[in-house]
Amino acid sequence: MHQFAIRVPGLLVTLWLVSITAAPAYGDFKDSIKTYKSVQLDPSLIVKIEQYDHLIKYFCGFAYHKKNNVVNRNFVKALIIAESSVDPGAVSVDNARGLGQIVHETGKAAARVLYNTGVNFKYIEESKLQDLSLDSLHDPAINILLTVYLISRYNYRFNGKIELVVTAWNAGENNTSLNRGRVPGYSETEDLIGKVNGYFLYLNKMTPQ
């Protein structure tokens, strides 16, 4: 495992490799959890995500925010499947891009933080992190690095609670509901929580991490 510290301001499963926690008792997202709890993934999606396994494994090998804590690879895969159906060229109506559906402003800020660590990441041209272009979000290696880093950040900030991590991903980490430890009543966010959790559970049954 690679260790370095990056300073930042400020039936559900958690994202850390060894932790499991129960869902809190608020938020309609629990209906979404029930909807997707027994979901089966299309085999074609499994084939697609496995072509990026070497990148996910490599970038999940870094402890970005807390010593000895890394992001679960199956969670990254679940999020990518839910967000883009594993399409590196995907563009949302909100102009989020690539495998993890990252907004340029968020990606650019994260890329700059990673550039400033001085770590020479494999598969990445360092200059692209220094001033991230919109097109670079369609580069699978860059998008996966940013996805893993941001998941690590939200995981650290919200204590590995998957519903809060996915909310931060979808609705923004500074959403006022998150400050109270709650999921806002956005149908898109609630649906994504259910999908990611269901896909994560499915992938863990196939290949436990």
pLDDT in tens, 167-184: 999 988 888 888 788 888
Q: What is the pLDDT of residues 114-124, one digit of tens each?
A: 999 999 999 99
pLDDT at 186 over 50: yes
Q: What per-residue confidence (pLDDT) applies to 4?
A: 54
Length of the chain, in residues: 209
Residue span of the structural domain in which 29 resides: 2-206
The confidence score (pLDDT) of residue 69 equals: 82
Q: Which residues lie across from 20 on neighbouring strands? A: 13
| pLDDT tens digits along 4-41 | 544 433 345 444 433 333 344 345 788 899 999 999 99
CATH code at position 111: 1.10.530.10
The tally of domains found in the chain comes to 1
Share of the chain above pLDDT 70, in %: 87
The whole-number average pLDDT for the span 67-96 is 95
| Residue 172: φ, ψ to 5° | 100, 135
In this prediction, residue 48 carries a pLDDT of 98
The overall average pLDDT reported for the chain is: 87
Cβ density class 1-23: b for 16+ within 10 Å, e for less: eeeeebeeeeebbbbbeeeeeeb
